[in-house]
Amino acid sequence: MAVTLLAGCAQKQEESLKFITPVPFSQVQIQDGFWSPRLQAHKDVTLAVCIDQIENQTGRIRNYENAAKGRGEHSGIFFDDSDVYKALEGMAYSLQNHPDPELEAKCDEWIDKFAAAQQPDGYINTFYTLTGLENRWKNMDRHEMYCAGHMIEAGVAYYQVTGKRKLLDVCIRMADHMMSVFGPGKRHWVPGHEEIELALVKLYQTTGEKKYLDFADWLLNERGHGYGSYGDERVWPTHYYQDEVPVREMAEISGHAVRSMYLYCGMADVASYTGDQGYRDALDRVWDDVVYRNMYITGGIGQSAHNEGFTDDYSLPNLTAYCETCASVGMVLWNWRMGQFTGDGKYADVLERALYNGALAGISLSGDRFFYVNPLESLGNHHRQAWFGCACCPSQICRFLPSIGNYVYGVSDKAIWVNLYMGSKADIGKGITLTQETAYPWEGAVTLTLGLERRLRKELRLRIPAWCKTYTLTVNGQAVEAPVEKGYAVLEGPWKDGDRIQLNLDMPVEVVAADPRVKEDIGLRAIQRGPVVYCLEEADNPGDFDKLTLSADAELVTETLPGKLGGIVEISARMGDSMLTFIPYYAWDNREPGKMKVWVPWN
């Protein structure tokens, strides 16, 4: 059962002002040689790992049981509730495409515990319930609204998938509690870790209650006015929290990377309904600063472990790169939203880079081990772990992977948009289906077949990735020339049932040089093919790993290896009697321990 809007809403929901409406993953069946095995591993392995950690290893679920009783200790970190909610969101998304009565029963069991832990006034947070409710809402950096936001996202997801609203009602009561304390004419508040803002927009979308959209907008506007409340525990400067200037005045990325991503997602979501051009202009300025001055080739962001975030422009160290998995997922979420405003392919280009490299590296091929930090070089001592004391990244991957269908297709008044290339069948609506067949990202050949109940007069807009320099297009076997607008090839209709469009993206190996202002990469080169960034790993390159170099006259040869690392295209750089072997960056550290590097000395 899929539900998109509660019946009997008190207020009519405003129409989104976004140029493109995404086709939700619930209407996209992934049938893909690259992604289907990963989704199966998520269903069979990753979910079980998260459930076991939450129930048996870490005490996270016991916090709810103790909170319901009003006694007992709180185990873990003060924001650990958020991991439970993110795992539940991933469970809900899995149920959408893989109905499982046992998994649904587990969700209901958890939700019963959440509801029992909620206070009479609607407040829910196990840390403060068990350590002293008198201390709640005194320190903005104690993640109360962050946890509430992830609960709302989980509650909305579970309601949309199952039609069950018990958790959604818990979320509504918590949102109403927050609004009874904060807002115009009440207390000022700046959430130390953003997330609530975008979650409130989801609650508005689901209930039609505009007060939640208004509250999200109010919270955004609280920033940059000195309203932050830290109690006696202030550690970081205001820019760490994106609280240095009002959001409409932002021009540069700063502070904690994941918090920044969630803030920008919230701004984009609110602007999509309010039309706030000040938000849009600020997001455009900050996007330029992130992508052109502070982003790694993998789509990773956040250079420093010290603040889990940003330092100076063009300072992009490889060995000590932080590049938190959550931040790479955040880049997908933010760029997805940005693309919906304008239909500009540059946002999908960055989304794709973060998806196939920075985010995907965060989980092992087996689905049971995780990276928190994703450096671009390793001395052999950096490895995925089964879990973390701060487990935001495993739970983030848990909810992210089953939702990847969200990012593939979009619809506007005049066009159907194909943003990503992924074997799938999409129900576009109004009697329109689109089937995509491809071996992407290893091959650039894509076939799209239209299923239509009646003739379609919309355009088809197919993204031509920035990495692709030449390509061909055919319609029903006939070569066609199509204009390219903002990175999308525009194919005019009308279309009839069974029409086939074939796109062939040339996918040569590229040797990439960094911007010369990135001092750490002077004299180095990286290898990329299609959307996939490659690396050297010691397992494939025995000998003195530190002395490996790549020559300008190297012959770069690709080989498809179905049995290696889950199936990859390997790249060999052949230089006389020597050879370097490159594997996809996302696949490193899935074998014996060893050194790794993305950027290689060049001669």
Report strand pairing: 555-561 vs 478-479: unpaired
Write b or e for each residue in 115-150: b if 16 or more Cβ atoms lie within 10 A of its Cβ, otherwise e. Answer: bebbbeebbbbbbbbbeeeeebbebbbbbbbbbbbb
For residue 479, count CB atoms less than 10 angstroms from its CB and return exposed for 0-12, middle for 13-18, buried for 19 or more.
exposed
Read out DSSP for 447-472? EEEEEESS-B-SEEEEE--TT---EE
Q: Which residues contact 442 (CB under 8 A, 6 or more apart)?
A: 34, 530, 560, 568, 569
**DSSP class of 519:** G
**φ/ψ (deg, to 5) at 451:** -115, 120
- The contacts of residue 517 (CB under 8 Å, 6+ apart) are 313, 314
- Terminal-to-terminal C-alpha distance of the chain: 59
Please identify every residue annotated as catalytic: 308, 392
Q: What's at 36, amino acid-wise? A: S
- Look at residue 411 and give its three-state secondary structure: strand
Whether the CB-CB separation of 137 and 192 falls below 8 Å is answered with no
For tokens 């550690």, the residue is 235
In whole angstroms, give the CA distance from residue 133 to residue 376. 43
Whole-number Å distance between alpha carbons of 357 and 336: 16
CB 168 within 8 A of CB 112: no
Nearest alpha carbon to residue 540 among 576, 506, 505, 579: 579
**Residue 19 structure tokens:** 């140029």
Helical packing angle, 277-293 and 325-342, nearest 10°: 130
How many CA atoms lie within 13 Å of 332's alpha carbon, on the beta-carbon side? 26
- What gap in Å lies between CA 587 and CA 287, rounded to an integer? 28
The DSSP element (H or E) to which 217 belongs, if any, is helix 210-221
**At 165, which amino acid appears?**
R
